[in-house]
Amino acid sequence: MNDALERLRTTFGFSGFRPHQKEIIGAIMDDRDVFAALPTGGGKSLCYQLPALLRDGLTVVVSPLIALMHDQVEGARQYGVPAACVNSSLDARTVSSVYHDVSSGRIRLLYASPERLKVDSFRSALREWGVSLFAIDEAHCISEWGHEFRPDYRLLATLRSDYPGTPIAAFTATATRRVQDDIVKTLGLRAPLIVRGDFDRREIFYRVERKEKVADQILSFVREHRDQPGIVYRSTRKAVDQCAAYLNHRGIAAAAYHAGLSDVERGTNQDLFVRDEIQVIVATIAFGMGIDKSNVRWVVHGDLPRSLEAYYQETGRAGRDGVTAQACLFYGPQDIAGIRYHIDRLQSEQERERATTQLREMLRFADSGQCRRVGLLAHFDQQHGGNCGACDVCAGDVERTDRTTEAQMAMSAVVRTGQRFGAHHIVDVVTGSLTERVERLGHNRLPTFGVSSVHPRGFWLDLIGDLESAGLLRREGPKSGLTVTPAGKLVLFAKERFMAVDRPPRVDGGRAASAGAARRASTGDEGDPMPLRPSQEALFERLRELRRDLARGQGVPPYVIFSDRTLIAMARIRPTTRMALLRVHGIGDVKAERYGDAFLETIVRFVRGDDPGADDAVVDGDGS
């Protein structure tokens, strides 16, 4: 491990291991199988990249998507790790060149798709090269219980029998115990080291809001985070296209991503986002697993995800560099009705039950009046004491009020009108609105007509939405009427109480951080936020511009040169010598040699006052 620590410092620029990395790397060095569930940003790639530099033989990394693979290879090369990949995007000459480099020992880390492992010639080549480790990235794709199950990943079950003496290490950022057991069984892992990291993404602030005019809500959020890259998830291709067009029309550089676009258009839009040429990618769930972009500062869901597993994975694409990030979910009753409509049309009863359970868990999270992390982490069998300080509930933006009486009024109106009308008609009845329809149907003669005019119409619409979300009312489909569920009857007949989420008006626009806070704060080893002063912010922007220019010149994503966390550290420390630069998190010998002069020059110019904005640029030049 002494050699590993030295490599960690000189190659990767890290002063110490992150939680669980040391024990995982130690097990791999001892030829032991490993299952590791570590959160996004938890340093999974280092667990096989570092052993690849220390062990004899070839390390083969199975990766699910081509774009992800290329990003991972480029990221490894930036650290000086001899890496390459083979996939269907490469022509025969390029693949032949890679094979030659592997045979000659010039490549120590080879990324491959699971489909590539079906090719007999590739398997034969692996035997000739001598594989010292198989690392399975995104291992949850193996399990049919995983939210991104890929049948081709099941092919990896033959690795154990074909390579009985080669250790296998499976890595995932999201796996329940059930998925974990399925992965271990399918891969045939032998007495593996099993590691489950801390799934609490402390750098992410979670917020849930009810939908009103969701396009305007998304626009407002994006404007509050101007110049910070982010992802907007929508549930349909049509919603994606409309949202991207809406943002562009209002001056936000955005692009769409969904399966209905051509491969060329999809790839172009992804590249624009990965290279920081546009601020926003608007996508269906088809987007995300194929990127390794570390500086995503926020994720917005414009519709309710279908499971907590998917929500965790998608929000986890923000803040991978450890810098604070935002996750905002907008949802409404129409989302619930749409999901239930699809659930009811599933052919398998088992699939319907599973999807219903997932929806119920998602709604409990969205409607919860307790710390968001409590419910989210419980899904991964991890306890949290609450009061995290980094979600809307703990920030005091969410309160709960006893609305049992009002819930009984609304549900009584639903029952007395025959359980076949939507929310607006029910509200007309409860508030005593004598519409043509109410009068024609005789609903103005019901005991519940005009039962309460104390609350405004919006209150009742929100309340009915809350009742739906809580599973007390439901709709069979998007256009069907409301019905009272068995759980709703318990409240209706005063056997249980109903506590509704009450969100008071927010003077500051409802955000836990100001427009630039996610960019202006970094996260220390203990998770403490360290805000940048104005001049540090100005230097950060200069460094970011330099990074973008260097990345364009090389044709690589900016974040593979230096992460936002590294740039923030430079802006705070302001190193002016090579020795001081090497003490900055994420800068090893290779990157210092490759980029050090350019970044040091920018910092020195700023410190000397040759750059506007350097009003308090005082530094002693040794990194202190």
SS (H, E, C) 241-281: HHHHHHHHHCCCCEEEECCCCCHHHHHHHHHHHHCCCCCEE
Assess whether 489 and 379 both reside in one domain: no
User: Pick from 196, 226, 242: which residue ends a domain?
Assistant: 196
Residues 428 and 461 sit within 8 Å (Cβ to Cβ): no
Give the H/E segment covering residue 135: strand 131-136
Residue 621: its pLDDT value, please? 44
User: Pick from 178, 196, 214: which residue ends a domain?
Assistant: 196
Whether 518 is covered by a domain: the verdict is no
pLDDT tens digits for 192-205? 999 998 889 999 99
- DSSP, collapsed to helix, strand or coil, labels residue 523 as strand
Burial 296-328 (b: 16+ CB within 10 A, else e): bbbbbbbbbbbbbbbbbbbbbbbbbbbbbbbbb
Distance CA 352, CA 182 (A): 21
User: Pick from 378, 396, 414: which residue ends a domain?
Assistant: 396
Residues 501 and 365 sit within 8 Å (Cβ to Cβ): no
pLDDT tens digits for 170-189? 999 887 888 899 999 999 99
Assess whether 374 and 424 both reside in one domain: no
Average pLDDT, the chain: 87
Distance CA 57, CA 73 (A): 18
Kindly state the percentage of the chain with pLDDT values over 70: 90
Lowest mean pLDDT among 223-232, 385-394, 519-528: 519-528
Domain of residue 441: give its range.
401-502
What is the token pair recorded at 621?
A: 């030049």
Residue 524: its pLDDT value, please? 40
CA neighbor of 83 nearest in space, from 15, 28, 23, 11? 11
300 vs 349: which has the higher pLDDT: 300
Assess whether 494 and 567 both reside in one domain: no
pLDDT of residue 32 exceeding 90? yes
Residues 312 and 39 sit within 8 Å (Cβ to Cβ): no
Assess whether 113 and 224 both reside in one domain: no
Assess whether 441 and 386 both reside in one domain: no
Angle 622-518-589 from CA coordinates, rounded to 5°: 35
Distance CA 584, CA 575 (A): 8
**Whole-model pTM?**
0.73
Q: What is the mean pLDDT of residues 445-468?
A: 86
Assess whether 454 and 540 both reside in one domain: no
pLDDT tens digits for 544-582? 999 999 999 998 899 999 999 999 999 999 999 999 999
Assess whether 250 and 271 both reside in one domain: yes
89-98 — which CB contacts under 8 Å span 24+ positions? none
Assess whether 249 and 131 both reside in one domain: no
Domains in the chain, number? 4
Give the number of other Cβ atoms within 10 Å of residue 438's Cβ.
19
What is the token pair recorded at 115?
A: 């489909």
What are the distances in angstroms from CA 262 to CA 247, 256, 257? 21, 11, 10
Q: What is the mean pLDDT of residues 78-88?
A: 92
Give the number of other Cβ atoms within 10 Å of residue 458's Cβ.
10
Whether 567 is covered by a domain: the verdict is yes
Assess whether 172 and 228 both reside in one domain: no
What is the token pair recorded at 236?
A: 């349909």
Strands (E), 15-57: 34-37
pLDDT-based confidence at residue 479 (cuts at 50, 70, 90): low
pLDDT of residue 217 exceeding 80? yes
β-strands 399-402, 499-502 pairing: antiparallel
Distance CA 566, CA 562 (A): 6
Assess whether 233 and 144 both reside in one domain: no
Whether 616 is covered by a domain: the verdict is no
